[in-house]
Amino acid sequence: MSLAEAHAAANRPGADTAGTLPDTARSLARAYETDATTCWYASPTDTWGTWPYNQSVTQNTYWCRKNGLLSYRSTTITTGSYFCSSHDPYEFKVAGGVGYTYVVVHRGAYFNCPTAIPWININVNDWAEWGYDVFPLWWEVQRD
């Protein structure tokens, strides 16, 4: 993944970004040539429930390494469901981060699912935590 793509991730609506990257095309090229900064992208998805009440939350994360440590992370959350409506997606760092070799990010969203009884909804908060490191690996830490 290019440094320009990682840099653009910070401008996405709802992006939570930590750290910095080179700003200009010239410094991006110089950083790439010297292998000072390397970036990756992952979009792990967790799914809960069964169709048609299934809910999914995806963590779209760009992260970069410089000098062996995490130097940048930008995350946005997307949700999906066939029958339920989602609202208020959220995410926050729970461990590590810029200056460490890893970061763990907690993310989730709220879902409202109608039932056969018109005035009764099933309301849930689905969440999971994912870790990312500079080797580059990503893994699920825990989920509800």
Helix (H), strand (E), coil (C) string for the chain: CCHHHHHHHCCCCCCEEEECCCCCHHHHHHHHHCCCEEEEEECCEEEECCCCCCEEEEEEEEEEEECCEEEEEEEEEEEEECCCEEEEEEEEEEEECCCCCEEEEEEEEEEEEECCCCCCEEEEEEEEEEEEECCCCEEEEEEC
* pTM of the model as a whole: 0.85
- Over its length of 144 residues, how does the chain's per-residue pLDDT go in tens digits? 777 888 788 778 788 888 887 664 555 555 555 556 899 999 999 999 998 899 999 999 999 999 999 999 999 999 999 999 999 999 999 999 999 999 999 999 999 999 999 899 999 999 999 999 999 999 999 999
